[in-house]
Amino acid sequence: MVRRNPFVVLSRLRAIDEKMSRAELAVARSAHDEARDRLEAYRAKHREAIPVEDLISPVELRSLQLRGVNSHEALVRAADEFERSAKQLGTRTEKWRKAAADLDAVERMEARKRDEAARQARTASERILDDLLGMLHGRKEVTE
């Protein structure tokens, strides 16, 4: 069985989580934009003046009233949908920010580990070089 470095696994998982959060944010942003466009369309339609003749019958008056009520209800539904999409967009944005921050933390930790490993390797190579120089200096003293 191959044992994987848990730190590498964590890094990959955080990268995947960040990508998924970014994709969810894009979908939420798109849904929010569509909801806003729908709301604006309903507002514009609701504001349109309905042509009315000077004298209308009670049936026409009732029809006009129902059209106004239906328009208002559609406008309210669109506003509710826009509000829900705005909340979801906020939630997805926060989720993405957290995932991005987690990924950034892992990347900073990886950089610190690489720097520490490089420092340790440099120290070890300097120590070995000192030992070699000491042995060479010792041999020169023995041969002289």
Tell me the pLDDT tens digit for each residue of 75-95.
999 999 999 999 999 999 999
The distance of Cα 40 from the centroid of its chain, to the nearest Å, equals 27
Bigger pLDDT: 137 vs 132: 132
Residue 32's domain comprises 6-103
pLDDT of the residue at 1: 62
In a domain, 113, yes or no: no
The distance of Cα 128 from the centroid of its chain, to the nearest Å, equals 48
In a domain, 22, yes or no: yes
Q: Work out how many domains the chain is built from and give that number.
A: 1
Bigger pLDDT: 50 vs 105: 105
Bigger pLDDT: 47 vs 108: 108
In a domain, 117, yes or no: no
pLDDT band at 133 (very low <50, low <70, confident <90, very high): confident
Overall average pLDDT of the 38-60 stretch: 83
pLDDT at 105 over 80: yes
* 73, 47 Cβ separation under 8 angstroms: no
The distance of Cα 122 from the centroid of its chain, to the nearest Å, equals 39
pLDDT band at 20 (very low <50, low <70, confident <90, very high): very high
134: tokens are: 């000491």
pLDDT of the residue at 81: 95
- Give phi and psi for 27, each to the nearest 5: -65, -45
